[in-house]
Structure 1
Amino acid sequence: MLAQPKTFPNHEALPAGHDRSGFEIIDPRFKDFILEGSKVTHHWQGAEWSEGAVYLPKTQVVVWSDIPNNRMLQFDPRTNETTIFREPSNFTNGNCTDNEGRLITATHLTHCLSRTEHDGQVTLLVDRYQGNRLNSPNDVVVKSDDSIWFTDPPYGILSDREGETRESEQSGNHVYRFCPDSAELTIVVDTLDRPNGLAFSPDESELYISDTGSPSRMYAFDVNSDGSTLTNKRDFIKVSPGVSDGFRCDTEGNIWTSAADGIQCFSSKGELLGKVRVPETRCANCCFGGPEGDILYIAGDTSLYSVKLAAKGAQYSK
């Protein structure tokens, strides 16, 4: 079924200066990512708050979340059609794929991680820590050892707009590691205000986590030799305007992160290289996709965009 626009009538107006799209070069190195003739393409508009973009290689479609409208959308680049992937979605937020190409989803209302099997059946992975309900799992990433790492801030329990208002049953807003084989769930970070997006460096020696609480910034952590714990928390990236919500790494270790003015690209050392501007109030997330992994799909506030780059998502190098 084709997706119908459902942007709320009182949706926030586009701020001044946010009405253009294209590339903004901050550092000459950013030119290396821009293909001749490449431009930002707008595919669909009509979401209230787009999040959790992910490319599914098996079906070659992009799936993303429209959280307040309680639905997941699906864009097919071959037909240029956007259809309903799942509705209701239980206020799904972040998505990724595991090492078998299955969809892993973080969901607010049912405070859980789930896995969509290749036959379409949905498997509940985890929804509690030490017997208590998780807050509202937000974003998720899968490591090469099949472990699933996710953030659990309170955004889905603060109001009914993105879930259901209730008190937290956890001691804080944590980052977790889940082992699908043993079903073991452990806290790996408990020092952030509102952990949000996360991604591993290409060699998985570092984990980057954005905190959209206070102070809003992205932190870097070293992954210990055991592959399951973190040390050496340090400031890494401060996005402006806006905050870093969701982000992805390319094969060279550059970070492509959401911001208020589109997607900002930082080097592996945290240097701002350039921007992919989109005409939205803000952006929440992005993903690499396409058969070669070189198309950046952008979940703008109300819309889905894409741009072909001379860069490839890190997940496509494994």
Structure 2
Amino acid sequence: MSCFEVVDPLFGAYVLGNAPVKQIATGFDWVEGPVWFGDAGCLLFSDIPNNRILRWSPSAGISIFREPSNFANGNTRDKQGRLLTCEHGTRRVTRTELDGSVTVIADGYGGRRLNSPNDVVVKSDGSIWFSDPHYGIMTDYEGFRAEQELPCHVYRVDPSGEIKAVLTDFAGPNGLAFSPDETRLYVADTGRMFGSDPQHIRVFDVALGGRLSGGEVFCTISPGCADGFRVDSEGNLWSSAADGVHCIAPDGHLMGKILVPELVSNLCFGGRAKHQLFIAATTSIYGITLNRRGAQTP
């Protein structure tokens, strides 16, 4: 049985018929936030309910990177190669410095605590962008149940440390990604927990200084919804879905699917040429080699 579903014939050139979807690690509860460290040859990812960040490498397998992790969710790297992490438990975004110390990037806005930062990306100007839905404070499963003090916004932290709410009309902002040239920002809206809000990916035009405009619906993922996603070097968006990973062209149409036997939460590109896709899917991490490379990030 093929692990691919081709919708647009062009997708056939993106995948390799003899490259399987492989389960490379399993036994977790809800995995999220995969990020590739090419200089260390390893993948980091969050196992949120178990309050830890794990490390996987082809040679050593699974090990603990950080435990407790403050119920870490999304992770990325900045332009200096430092780890940025969204923490549900402490309701903050942190940076792990090269010496191992931890710096708080953001933990509040307007005198009130953030909700539960979810996903984070870094622009080439050094600004840090993160989503702050309420998911981590609605139950005790992925953090601590607590009062929501702020609406669910997307924030930008400029290199000076100033934080600003840049998108304020989302029910539940989630995954974030810039296009390769950084002229577009994609943002998932997964709605209120236990709610019935529309679920889709919106796209914004990005001007100098980080000013945003537009915001129309880019695409809707079905089955399931878009949680986390990444962009390849040609601008195609690879999104999580209930049946695997969907590849969406820059104009918003579905190119094809990579079928995965578990609900996918997030993904990232990695490997020696950024040609491998690492997929976080409920209890497991999967990997597949593609005929495409991820957009150039650290």
Runs of 4+ in 1 over 3 A off after TM superposition: none
Q: Distance in 1 between matches of 2:157 and 2:41?
A: 27
Name the CA distance, whole Å, in 2 between partners of 1:135 and 1:72.
20
Give yes or no for the alignment of 1:217 onto 2:200.
yes
Deviation at 1:227, TM superposition (A): 3.0
2-side partners of 1:301 and 1:315: how far apart? 27
Identity in percent: 50
Aligned-residue offset at 1:104: 0.6
Determine if contact 1:56/1:103 at 8 Å carries over to the other structure: no
- Given candidates 247, 257, 262, the residue that maps to 2:239 is 257
Of 276, 279, 295 in structure 1, the residue corresponding to residue 258 of structure 2 is 276
Over aligned residue pairs, what C-alpha RMSD do you find? 1.3
Partner residue of 1:169 out of 133, 142, 149: 149
Partner of residue 102 from structure 2, selected from 98, 122, 129: 122
Which letter maps to 1:277?
Answer: L
In the superposition, relative to structure 1, how do residues 21 and 121 fare at CA in structure 2: closer, same or farther (>3 Å)?
farther
1:21, 1:279 within 8 Å by CA — same for their partners in 2?
no
Q: Tell which deviates more after alignment, 136-145 or 20-29.
A: 20-29
Q: Write the deviation string for residues 177-210 of structure 1: whole angstroms up to 9, x where unpaired.
A: 012x311000110001000001001111110000
**Are 1:133 and 2:113 matched, yes or no?**
yes
Inter-partner Cα distance in structure 2 for 1:60 and 1:24: 30
Distance 2:111 2:296 in 1: 33
| Residue identity opposite 2:69 in structure 1 | S
- 1:304 matched to 2:285: yes
User: What are the ranges of 5 or more consecutive residues in structure 1 without an aligned counterpart?
Assistant: 1-19
Structure 2 counterparts to residues 119-268 of structure 1, below 5 A = 119-170=99-150, 172-179=151-158, 181-213=159-191, 214-224=197-207, 226-268=208-250
Gaps of 5+ in 2: 192-196
Judge conservation of contact 1:174–1:187 (CA < 8 Å) in 2.
yes
Give the TM-score normalised by structure 2: 0.96
| 1:108 and 2:91 aligned | no
Report the TM-score when normalising by structure 1: 0.90
Deviation at 1:165, TM superposition (A): 1.0
Measured after TM superposition, the shift of residue 125 of structure 1 is 1.4
Task: Tell me the matched-pair count.
Answer: 293
1:313 is aligned to 2:294: yes
